[in-house]
């Protein structure tokens, strides 16, 4: 591996690494627009020029397309480099509209930031009128283009050619008339179109969902994991709750991809990107609902759980554990499912339990990131034995059919809307045949109207938890704000219910609960909450999968 000096500091870098990445190892930033580590190098913006000395001879080179070499000396802060950067910025700003006060990218625009750090120049060009191009162009269902702001870095164009292979964007015309536009006859309408907004270093491409909602400097950022499918893409939650006068029901302002080479690299799909709307949806379940008499007051969570415990104890005493069915969910976290297992499998010996059903919606699977399984934790659920066991245990569709036929006195349904899974006739039959129905849900649905008791669940953004993706990688979500209303994490509800049956989980936080899972399940042995860090860890005994570039099976060349 080559050794070189950058601004007088020695560094050893992997062979083939360019100067921008080599400088990052020393926390030295070489400014750039067109370079992106996930795309082909085109070297068009010239912003990354540095001075390079090899064999005593000094010259200017672009950092993106110059590989680090043994004995090389790189200078990023000389007067020559400063003048080069100033000149490049002066060139870009000749025709760039100075609309920072209304631009949605203000505060995170590289043109704005680099001008303040490297520009601050008096322009030598007197222009009575700047070059005007297309503004507020509706290029697709999620993205708006402002051509005047574009610096023609071509990142978005390369993304649509090299990553998605869909080729919706292009740079047309030449010289001062060159302009980013959609390819004739096409709209930017692929499943990853939001990624071009992440890639845009200025405010040329903006997200319709985020435009004019918040200034970026008001938002806080929390690292988390997408729960939209079994991939578990790494994300940032950008959220803000202090200015409730604007969009008062919108706590999360947007989701952005977070780099994880082994999961999603720099990208996320649009389905995951906009999935956060469910967190603050109008139909969130904010309090427990029960059909029992409440003596004129709204029941608390503890009161409702005590009534559920009393009812289940009566069912078990009368007919045994075989009279209870649990329709669990692979959208529950590892901690939820561990607590569920301890109560219903280990303590009550319920055999009719499963987390896989034919009625569950399936998504579109592709060669990039999207998975057909829309649950984030099916691998974890199966590792934690949330499946039928013993000779009498029924699973999946067989279990649901038995529920409809009235084979159980009590049915527990978690995160499933059976009103969509069953016909009205079967739903009425189930209600008639089943004496007691408990539902745990995040939103009100047709099914929550049917259940005897409905307990409100906190959503992924309102709780800390771990999920195991389809590969066996355990990752954790964060909790930037409190749950809505009286909603609780699922494991908290099982913990309170378990206390009525003498089940002690021995942990009162998700961190402590996760650290105990390994003592009961071999595949989690040796894993700890802290060791998961920000990138996750593979299950014990599950090898790290081979690296796979996130890319279409039919990519197009940069140009």
SS3 annotation, 22-47: HHHCCCCCCCCCCCCCCCCCCCCCCC
Sign of the CA dihedral with 40 first, then 194, 229, and 254 last? positive
The pLDDT, as a whole number, for residue 545 is: 94
In this prediction, residue 536 carries a pLDDT of: 96
390 vs 280: which has the higher pLDDT: 280
Give the CA distances from residue 70 to residues 17, 19, 66, in Å, rounded to whole numbers and listed in that order: 12, 12, 13
At residue 298 the predicted structure's pLDDT band, cuts being 50, 70 and 90, is confident
Mean pLDDT value of segment 145-170:
96
Element (H, E) at 399: helix 396-404
Rounded distance between C-alpha atoms, residue 295 and residue 52, angstroms: 81
Cβ atoms of residues 343 and 324 within 8 Å: no
Q: What is the pLDDT of residue 529?
A: 95
User: Torsions phi, psi of 104, nearest 5?
Assistant: -65, -15
Q: Which residue has the higher pLDDT, 134 or 123?
A: 134
pLDDT score for 412 = 96
| Mean pLDDT, the chain, integer | 94
Q: Which of 291-305, 470-484, 544-558 is predicted with the least confidence, judged by mean pLDDT? A: 291-305
Pairwise CA distance, residues 453 & 307, whole Å: 9
Q: Is the pLDDT of residue 245 over 70?
A: no
Torsion of CA 478, 109, 260, 238, to 10 degrees: 10
């Amino acid at each position: 591996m080559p050794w070189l000096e950058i601004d007088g500091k020695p560094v050893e870098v992997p062979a083939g690494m360019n100067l921008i990445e080599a400088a990052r190892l020393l926390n030295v930033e070489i400014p750039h627009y067109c370079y992106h580590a996930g795309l082909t190098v085109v070297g068009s913006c010239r912003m990354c020029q540095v001075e390079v000395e090899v064999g005593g001879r000094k010259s200017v080179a672009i950092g993106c397309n110059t590989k680090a070499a043994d004995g090389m000396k790189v200078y990023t802060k000389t007067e020559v480099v400063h003048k080069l950067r100033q000149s490049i910025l002066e060139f870009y700003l000749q025709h760039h509209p100075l609309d920072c006060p209304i631009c949605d990218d203000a505060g995170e625009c590289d043109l704005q930031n680099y001008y303040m750090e490297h520009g601050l120049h008096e322009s030598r060009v007197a222009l009575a009128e700047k070059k005007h191009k297309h503004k507020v162009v509706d290029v697709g269902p999620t993205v708006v283009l402002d051509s005047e702001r574009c610096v023609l870095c071509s990142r978005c164009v390369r993304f649509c050619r090299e990553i998605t292979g869909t080729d919706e964007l292009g740079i047309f015309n030449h010289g001062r008339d060159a302009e980013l536009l959609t390819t004739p006859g096409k709209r930017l309408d692929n499943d990853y179109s939001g990624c071009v907004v992440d890639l845009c270093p200025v405010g040329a491409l903006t997200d319709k969902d985020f435009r004019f909602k918040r200034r970026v400097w008001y938002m806080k950022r929390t690292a988390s994991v997408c729960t939209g499918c079994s991939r578990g893409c790494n994300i940032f939650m950008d959220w803000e709750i202090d200015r409730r006068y604007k969009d008062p029901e919108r706590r999360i302002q947007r989701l952005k991809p977070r780099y994880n080479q082994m999961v999603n690299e720099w990208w996320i799909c649009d389905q995951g990107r906009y999935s956060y709307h469910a967190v603050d949806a109008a139909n969130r379940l904010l309090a427990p609902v029960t059909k029992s008499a409440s003596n004129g007051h709204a029941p608390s969570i503890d009161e409702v759980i005590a009534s559920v415990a009393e009812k289940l104890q009566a069912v078990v005493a009368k007919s045994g554990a075989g009279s209870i069915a649990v329709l669990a969910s692979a959208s529950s976290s590892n901690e939820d499912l561990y607590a569920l297992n301890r109560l219903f499998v280990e303590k009550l010996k319920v055999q009719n339990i499963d987390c896989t059903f034919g009625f569950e919606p399936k998504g579109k699977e592709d060669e990039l990131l999207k998975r057909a399984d829309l649950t984030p934790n099916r691998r974890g659920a199966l590792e934690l034995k949330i499946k039928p066991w013993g000779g009498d245990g029924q699973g999946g569709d067989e279990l649901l059919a038995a529920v409809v036929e009235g084979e159980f006195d009590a049915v527990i349904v978690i995160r499933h809307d059976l009103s969509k899974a069953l016909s009205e006739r079967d739903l009425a039959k189930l209600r008639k045949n089943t004496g007691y129905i408990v539902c745990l849900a995040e939103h009100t649905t047709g099914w929550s109207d049917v259940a005897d008791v409905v307990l409100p669940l906190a959503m992924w953004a309102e709780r800390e938890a771990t999920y195991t993706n389809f590969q066996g990688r355990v990752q954790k979500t964060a909790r930037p704000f409190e749950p809505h209303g009286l909603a609780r994490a699922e494991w908290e509800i099982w913990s309170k219910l378990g206390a009525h049956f003498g089940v002690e989980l021995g942990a009162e936080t998700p961190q402590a609960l996760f650290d105990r899972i390994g003592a009961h399940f071999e595949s989690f042995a040796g894993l700890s909450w802290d060791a998961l860090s920000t990138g996750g860890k593979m299950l014990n005994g599950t090898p790290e999968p081979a690296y796979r570039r996130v890319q279409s099976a039919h990519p197009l060349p940069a140009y």
